[in-house]
Structure 1
Amino acid sequence: MSAASGGVADLAEVMARLRRECAWTAAQTHESLTRYLLEEAHEVLAAFDGGDPNEVRDELGDLLFQVVFHAQVASERPAADGGFDLDDVAAGIAAKLRRRNPHVFAGGEARTPEEIDAAWQAVKAQEATRASVHDGIPLALPALMYADKVLKRLGDPKVEGDDLGSRLLALVAEARAAGLDPEAELRRTVRALPDLP
């Protein structure tokens, strides 16, 4: 099975036709679609939690549709006005992955997961200048995920304090120190709670 085939091109053609011939689809904007993008991302997570490969495939398809939809909307603007298409999106992420994985594409020497992550972070740091540790982290992220990213950027400082927020942040730090994703751990634990009697 190839990593990519005519299916993606077919989806792009379907999307372009929907934009031309479906009044609802044609009326959508990046802003009107944001809720669907977020919903589909959460549905992918739920499918992973459920463990059914067919559901995972279907939900990933719904999420991919959102990416293709946004790229189609953007392609309808001239490049001079910020327009881009699905090929631009794919080329951009491919270039980023080559740049951030020098151990695969540029003779880099990182081999262990820790070395690879450090090399990735070093390249990423060179690409962006930040005025704040919060720059580039979406405020809409779930709080545990947001805290995880900020702590990582700060170099995993010791967290102290007696208020609830500090205690929660300390638990995120504890999860990071154990190599665990606090968001995934909490979601897994909550899903394991007994159902209503």
Structure 2
Amino acid sequence: MAATNRTPDQELARLLAIMVRLRHPETGCEWDREQTFATIAPYTIEEAYEVAEAIAHDDLISLRDELGDLLFQVVFHARMAEERGAFAFADVAAAISHKMERRHPHIFGDVNDQLDVEGIHRRWEEIKASEREAKGETSAIDGVAVTLPALMRAEKLQKRAARVGFDWPEPHSAAAKVAEEVAELAEASPEEKLEEAGDLLFAAVNLVRLNGIAPEDALRAANAKFERRFRSMEQFASEDGHDFAILTLDEQEQYWQAVKRSERTVTA
């Protein structure tokens, strides 16, 4: 796609006009007119993940397109809010502009201290905490969105608790807790297994976090590795003239080990 000759302001105005036309109660698109915040929300989440996917593949062409899709979601929500007299896109942009200026006093304010990245992050969190307090949120874990993916939310809850001192002193203690939860899950009744399984996963998130690794990144990498190895197992079996699905577990395990050996050979 050739670069546009329009300015960013012109392109944004064009997008806003398109959204108005799509939502027009008489001449707009039937599908777009029927949408609500709730029905559009899943698409918004999906588009955010597709942005992340483009970044993971360092695909800048796809990133451009996916960012456009995500921007369209913002415009869609803002238009629906404007129709209800709540706010418009300009209010959305103004809100984030004010927030960024407020949270960067060393850039936009009169603070002249020289902080390193860690210090800047600490002040950012302090400013966020004061904002939550101004909203009447009194708990250290207030404001952690319930709709976040469970793994990500567990990490955020733990980080918030850690800021007020409620945290394991070192990974070893968290590892012991994981072992404890494994044992409790093994001994749990059918009625208790859901709760105990959740405790185990929550403890595992704590252990990974205390090792300085983002649990979401770790699990994503594990998913990718499993997918790569599983596909390779199927391929190895097919090359040997076998249907992987009808092999015994022991035979499948042999292919799993063969894939692992092949990976070590490649990286050696």
**TM-score in terms of structure 1 length:** 0.86
Q: Percent identity?
A: 40
Task: Tell me if 1:182 matches 2:215.
Answer: yes
Task: Please give the alpha-carbon distance, in whole angstroms, between the structure 2 residues aligned to 1:110 and 1:187.
Answer: 36
- Corresponding residue of 2:54: 47
Q: Is the 8 A contact 1:110 1:119 kept in 2?
A: no
- Corresponding residue of 2:128: 124
Q: What is the CA distance between 1:107 and its match in structure 2?
A: 3.5
Task: Please give the alpha-carbon distance, in whole angstroms, between the structure 1 residues aligned to 2:10 and 2:145.
Answer: 33
Find the partner of 1:74 among 71, 75, 81. Answer: 81
Q: What is the CA distance between 1:131 and its match in structure 2?
A: 4.0
Q: Which has the larger radius of gyration?
A: 2
Task: Please give the alpha-carbon distance, in whole angstroms, between the structure 2 residues aligned to 1:166 and 1:60.
Answer: 37
- Corresponding residue of 1:57: 64
178-187 vs 7-16, which deviates more?
178-187
Letter in 1 for 2:109: A
Find the partner of 1:32 among 17, 39, 64. Answer: 39
Q: What is the CA distance between 1:178 and its match in structure 2?
A: 4.3
Find the partner of 2:105 among 102, 114, 136. Answer: 102
Task: Please give the alpha-carbon distance, in whole angstroms, between the structure 2 residues aligned to 1:67 and 1:142.
Answer: 20
Q: Deviations over 1:120-167 (max 9, x none)?
A: 111111111324444211222112211111111112601435215445
Find the partner of 1:84 among 84, 87, 99. Answer: 87
Q: Deviations over 1:4-56 (max 9, x none)?
A: 54322221111111111212111211122112112212222222222211112
- Corresponding residue of 1:168: 201
108-117 vs 92-101, which deviates more?
108-117
Aligned with 2:51: secondary structure?
Answer: helix
Q: Is the 8 A contact 1:47 1:55 kept in 2?
A: yes
Letter in 2 for 1:63: L
Structure 1 pair 111/133, CA: closer, same or farther in 2 (3 Å)? closer
Letter in 2 for 1:72: R
* Number of corresponding residues: 192
Q: What is the CA distance between 1:71 and its match in structure 2?
A: 0.1
Q: What is the CA distance between 1:112 and its match in structure 2?
A: 1.5
Q: CA-atom RMSD, angstroms?
A: 2.3
Flag structure 2 segments of 5+ consecutive residues without an equivalent.
169-173, 182-196, 235-268
47-56 vs 66-75, which deviates more?
47-56
Task: Please give the alpha-carbon distance, in whole angstroms, between the structure 2 residues aligned to 1:14 and 1:145.
Answer: 35
Higher relative contact order (CA 8 A, sep 6+): 1
Task: Tell me if 1:19 matches 2:26.
Answer: no
Runs of 4+ that moved beyond 6 A = none
Aligned with 1:192: secondary structure?
Answer: helix
**TM-score in terms of structure 2 length:** 0.65
Structure 1 pair 76/34, CA: closer, same or farther in 2 (3 Å)? same
Aligned with 1:7: secondary structure?
Answer: helix
